[in-house]
């Protein structure tokens, strides 16, 4: 079973439908006991960094999320769910994130001809192809983004990057903790393949 963490700031339904489409048993929950019983967990997110952290803490989900990651079971953050894994964001000064990974979340800088937010399809440069979300993915696949802030992480956790005025660290992985800035559930067949790779890890069939 894969738990989708519901904290009032996620694009829950589309993630749930995508996982069910590939044959996963899914439970949407904000119950820590249900989360800890899951074989894998997904943290989606849309909206602002500060609002998301306020909701997580108000629902007393911060400690259970950290405990789940510490358990070693596969964990996937999506979009804002990637950003709040880090320490802070320019979007919400003074608000601390989950601090599970090190890096900066910055505003995409304005530039001539560059629309912000970054909405639409963009290609990925896959930096680590040996397992994880990108197992058996080749070339420079296109995925779907919707965001105004981007991640600049420590290079050793970056698994894919995209270009949009600056280099965006579009996906990261540290052991069992994975996240992507783009929306795999909105990225067609390629996105479903990434979710299949994640699901395989929850069944012990892929590399974590």
Phi and psi at residue 42, in whole multiples of 5°? -125, 130
Here the tokens at position 29 are: 């929950």
> Is 147 labeled as catalytic in the residue annotation?
no
- C-alpha distances (whole Å) from 119 to each of 10, 49, 55, 146, 194 are 17, 18, 25, 4, 20
- The catalytic residue among 24, 79, 147, 169 is 79
In the block, residue with structure tokens 């800890």: 36
How many angstroms separate the CA atoms of 14 and 20, rounded?
10
> Is 183 labeled as catalytic in the residue annotation?
yes
β-strand 40-43 against 75-78: which pairing, if any? parallel
- The catalytic residue among 147, 169, 183, 196 is 183
- The catalytic residue among 16, 91, 185, 196 is 185
> Is 180 labeled as catalytic in the residue annotation?
no
Among candidates 73, 56, 80, which has minimal Cα distance to 1? Answer: 73
* Residue 195 DSSP SS3: helix
How many angstroms separate the CA atoms of 67 and 53, rounded?
17
How many angstroms separate the CA atoms of 142 and 126, rounded?
11
Enzyme catalytic residues: 79, 183, 185
């Amino acid at each position: 079973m894969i738990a989708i963490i519901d904290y009032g700031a996620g694009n829950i339904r589309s993630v749930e439908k995508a996982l069910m489409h590939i044959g996963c048993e899914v439970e949407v929950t904000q119950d820590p006991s249900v989360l800890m019983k899951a074989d894998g967990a997904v943290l989606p997110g849309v909206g602002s960094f500060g609002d998301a952290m306020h909701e997580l803490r108000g629902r007393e989900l911060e400690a259970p999320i950290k405990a789940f990651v510490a358990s070693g079971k596969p964990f996937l953050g999506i979009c804002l769910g990637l950003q709040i894994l880090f320490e802070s964001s320019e979007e919400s000064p003074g608000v601390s994130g989950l601090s599970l990974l090190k890096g900066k979340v910055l505003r995409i800088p304005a530039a001539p001809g560059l629309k912000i937010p970054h909405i639409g399809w963009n290609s990925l440069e896959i930096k680590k192809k040996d397992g994880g979300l990108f197992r058996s993915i080749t070339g420079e696949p296109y995925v779907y983004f919707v965001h105004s802030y981007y991640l600049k992480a420590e290079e050793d956790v970056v698994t894919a990057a995209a270009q949009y005025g600056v280099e965006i660290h579009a996906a990261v992985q540290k052991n069992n903790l994975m996240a992507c800035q783009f929306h795999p559930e909105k990225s067609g067949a390629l996105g479903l393949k990434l979710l299949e790779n994640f699901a395989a890890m929850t069944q012990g069939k892929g590399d974590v």
